[in-house]
Chains A and B, each alone.
Chain A
């Protein structure tokens, strides 16, 4: 797929008559393309003024990319009035224009939230309380506990909002002043929403208040991975209920992954109840099987992963080439560059051993995210929305990417190593908590479908995690992949590299 061409299912979505539409966009099916073409078409062919369009994305970088793509499709067009924003940014823009609830509403950074609880609760309880406040607000309820109310008072007295207040306030504004809502609804005659599967109740209410007849949402229920602060909400069900007779248009062609990878991923997700019909087809060649390797320990897993990476780089140093430490590319294998390769894992705590192994090999890497909590939830949910790439400037050089499967959402890599595929890590389970296996299977599916050319799954028989030594069986998700699609690597024994001792040349 090149240039401006669209395939049949993409074209059907782009050209769909205005009205409530769900585009069911499986991984790698070109949803960003559809989304940007839809916006461009509204302006170019349907006579929409750019200011009549509200396009909502999940992250700021997605917004920037989307804006760039629309611009490229409409050379010369004036797009200043077009809103391509994250939900949070759109809500804040509206509140600022309406000077509500303060003349100059400003948002408190995530890191500063805890400071509002100083002297309210002991520091160790702050995190749980902040979660509780967030969960309440995402159900569109103001905090009710005494410390929660105190938090809100302090916030208000400083004339600040937290991220979750943005939607609460906007919805309150719309309720209190119907003429304001009407003005905005009249303005945004076309509302589009990307990554719809990860929309929270609050975001959904906000967007659907603004949306009139033309409400176009793009997403994949199988890729929903943010059970936001534990608030169960199915945006697709809500959308269908609010818009009876809405059309569901699937994108059917996957252009990202080699067929073997896509087929393996489909076999895994098939075990989950389908919330929308699944009609995903591979359009790339078959490719090499998914490689699965078991290791004695997490340490060995990290070492062998890095050794495999050296091989995929075609040897990173003269030492590894001359000693045969890095295996030569095998049948049908090509060599890759640093930026092609990602190591994904369930918990940020798993990163450290990989970092150390990469350091020993002298390979550059970038780790995104630093902390996962014991309950396995991503702390960074909100920072994600505000986009991890905006925080620190990306180094100029290429590097191997280390990140959680959550953070890899929306990204793609030629080569993906998914580590820690153990029953208890992925799917993640806390002591005594059965865990939501369907959620975890979606996360596994998302991780698998990040891979374009090569997918490596690994597990360790012994793992040290959160201060405990664990012996866990391999993840049940691995056995969902039929054997023709995978290749089992023998757990390697510790031994010297083959051939002679390297000489000092």
Chain B
């Protein structure tokens, strides 16, 4: 049976993250979202790790679950339609700032361990090098290659995956302070890197344009800074439910076990196109090149986005799909869809009420987005939602790409839809 895993989140101990990112609410929100396996986030943080150790118990090998009494207390707040088991997998993110070949590099990395003991070994090493207590995503002056070496030495099953590999400021391929290849970044250990996280602003077809990435798996995660954002990107597996099962499916790039990734439309990501947020200038890569990389408003260099960076490093045209690549689906968070349907903000009370009504009726958010037939939604008196989700699933959307930290806007409905549906509902 297939299941969804979101392997990169943060805890309340990370900078600019919600206070409610604690084990109980994560357990509950996974059910609302339809996530079976969740990364714990912040495994390098001593206090978070201690809280996890006291609230989680071992489940399948390398996976953990909330203590039964804590599970029961949370489950009581979850509608029957959404209830399902939830597993945790030990995960954290480490930010490295260092100089290599005369250039400043800033790279974020995901770290996974199969046990608390392995996580503790990594903490011990990193604690000698820098401060791991003040931020759940610690900043260390450590070379990425040396971090990989520390992770590898901690446990044969501890893994490192470059995080949101394309974002401009903090990524292995980032335009501002990254590298042009995994080999350049990880040197003699680069073959140990078997996957990259594509991030919100890129999707698999963009990554397929680099033949150098054919050998690595492309995974997608939410990088959630609040529980509501869990699962906004995720991975769909059909494999043994265990740490080894998951990573064997990823490492093996086996399309029968690692089925697909659930993606943002990459245009919605904050760093898809080029531009300057403060100048409200969005540029597509061709225009950036035409303007010599400078902002039309202020004349300073623009922040070069993910699409541009991919095109720069790509050695293939669009459309080719490497053998063994996992499939993907592009989704839009349900609250954003509901906001468009109700013509109110996605954070409004109206949206929230409808969101929870839908969850109670149809089950978790990802099931609603991906599976619930349009006809069922129409039967519930939600024809516009049916129409919007139908378009999303077919990729018939109108896009205004994100740039320089500004989220993109994906429109599912036009003015016509509202008048037509309004008339229909009168009939």
Q: Mark A residues whose CB is within 8 Å of B.
A: 313-319, 321-322, 324, 335-340, 359-360, 362-365, 395-399, 499, 502, 504-505
25 contacts between A and B (CB under 8 A): A313-B97, A313-B106, A314-B169, A316-B139, A317-B95, A317-B139, A318-B16, A318-B169, A321-B169, A322-B405, A337-B105, A362-B131, A362-B139, A364-B131, A364-B140, A396-B128, A396-B142, A397-B98, A397-B130, A397-B142, A398-B99, A398-B142, A504-B229, A505-B223, A505-B225
Question: Do the beta carbons of A504 and B98 come within 8 Å of each other?
Answer: no
- Residues of A close to B135: CB separation below 8 A: 317, 362
- Residues of A close to B17: CB separation below 8 A: 504
Question: Do the beta carbons of A339 and B99 come within 8 Å of each other?
Answer: yes
In the complex formed, the residue of B with least CB distance to A360 is: B134
CB interface residues, B 261-278, toward A, < 8 Å: 270, 278
Question: Do the beta carbons of A321 and B97 come within 8 Å of each other?
Answer: no
- A324, A339, A363, A505: the one within 8 Å of B139 (CB): A363
Cβ of B141 under 8 Å from chain A: yes
Cβ of B297 under 8 Å from chain A: no
In the complex formed, the residue of A with least CB distance to B406 is: A322
Contact string against A for B residues 129-156, beta-carbon threshold 8 Å, 1 for contact and 0 otherwise? 1110011011111100010000000000
- Residues of A close to B134: CB separation below 8 A: 359-360, 362
Cβ of B18 under 8 Å from chain A: yes
Question: Do the beta carbons of A362 and B15 come within 8 Å of each other?
Answer: yes
- Residues of B close to A322: CB separation below 8 A: 270, 405
Q: CA of A339 to CA of B137 in the docked complex: distance in angstroms?
A: 20
- Residues of A close to B131: CB separation below 8 A: 359, 362-365
Question: Do the beta carbons of A504 and B16 come within 8 Å of each other?
Answer: yes
Return B363 CB to nearest CB of chain A, in Å: 26
Question: Do the beta carbons of B141 and A314 come within 8 Å of each other?
Answer: no
Question: Do the beta carbons of A396 and B177 come within 8 Å of each other?
Answer: no
Cβ of B170 under 8 Å from chain A: yes
CB interface residues, B 196-236, toward A, < 8 Å: 223, 225-226, 229
Cβ of B176 under 8 Å from chain A: yes
Provided the pairs A338-B98, A339-B99, A364-B141 are in contact, do residues A504 and B104 lie with their beta carbons within 8 angstroms? no
Return B85 CB to nearest CB of chain A, in Å: 27
Secondary structure type dominating chain B contacts: loop
Return B5 CB to nearest CB of chain A, in Å: 20
Number of interface residues of B (CB under 8 A): 35
In the complex formed, the residue of B with least CB distance to A396 is: B129
Question: Do the beta carbons of B405 and A395 come within 8 Å of each other?
Answer: no
Return A412 CB to nearest CB of chain B, in Å: 15
In the complex formed, the residue of B with least CB distance to A335 is: B104
- Given A317-B16, A318-B170, A335-B104, 11 further pairs, Cβ under 8 A: A316-B139, A317-B137, A335-B177, A337-B98, A337-B104, A362-B15, A363-B139, A364-B139, A396-B142, A397-B130, A504-B17
Return A502 CB to nearest CB of chain B, in Å: 6
In the complex formed, the residue of B with least CB distance to A313 is: B97
Return A310 CB to nearest CB of chain B, in Å: 10
Return A312 CB to nearest CB of chain B, in Å: 10
- Residues of A close to B176: CB separation below 8 A: 314
- Residues of B close to A335: CB separation below 8 A: 104, 177
Q: CA of A166 to CA of B106 in the docked complex: distance in angstroms?
A: 49
Q: CA of A78 to CA of B355 in the docked complex: distance in angstroms?
A: 80
In the complex formed, the residue of B with least CB distance to A325 is: B16
- Residues of B close to A324: CB separation below 8 A: 278
In the complex formed, the residue of B with least CB distance to A359 is: B134
Q: CA of A336 to CA of B105 in the docked complex: distance in angstroms?
A: 9
Return A3 CB to nearest CB of chain B, in Å: 17
- Residues of B close to A504: CB separation below 8 A: 16-18, 225-226, 229
Provided the pairs A314-B104, A504-B18, A505-B229 are in contact, do residues A362 and B405 lie with their beta carbons within 8 angstroms? no
Return B348 CB to nearest CB of chain A, in Å: 15
In the complex formed, the residue of A with least CB distance to B164 is: A318
In the complex formed, the residue of B with least CB distance to A356 is: B134
Question: Do the beta carbons of A364 and B129 come within 8 Å of each other?
Answer: yes
Q: CA of A339 to CA of B140 in the docked complex: distance in angstroms?
A: 11
- Residues of B close to A362: CB separation below 8 A: 15, 131, 134-135, 137-139
Provided the pairs A317-B95, A397-B129 are in contact, do residues A339 and B141 lie with their beta carbons within 8 angstroms? yes
Q: CA of A502 to CA of B106 in the docked complex: distance in angstroms?
A: 21
In the complex formed, the residue of B with least CB distance to A320 is: B15
Query: Which 7 A-B residue pairings sit nearest by Cβ, starting from the closest?
Result: A398-B141, A362-B135, A397-B141, A364-B130, A337-B99, A319-B16, A397-B129
In the complex formed, the residue of A with least CB distance to B103 is: A337
- B95, B146, B169, B223: the one within 8 Å of A396 (CB): B146
Return A328 CB to nearest CB of chain B, in Å: 8
Contact string against A for B residues 11-30, beta-carbon threshold 8 Å, 1 for contact and 0 otherwise? 00001111000000000000
- Residues of B close to A364: CB separation below 8 A: 129-131, 139-141
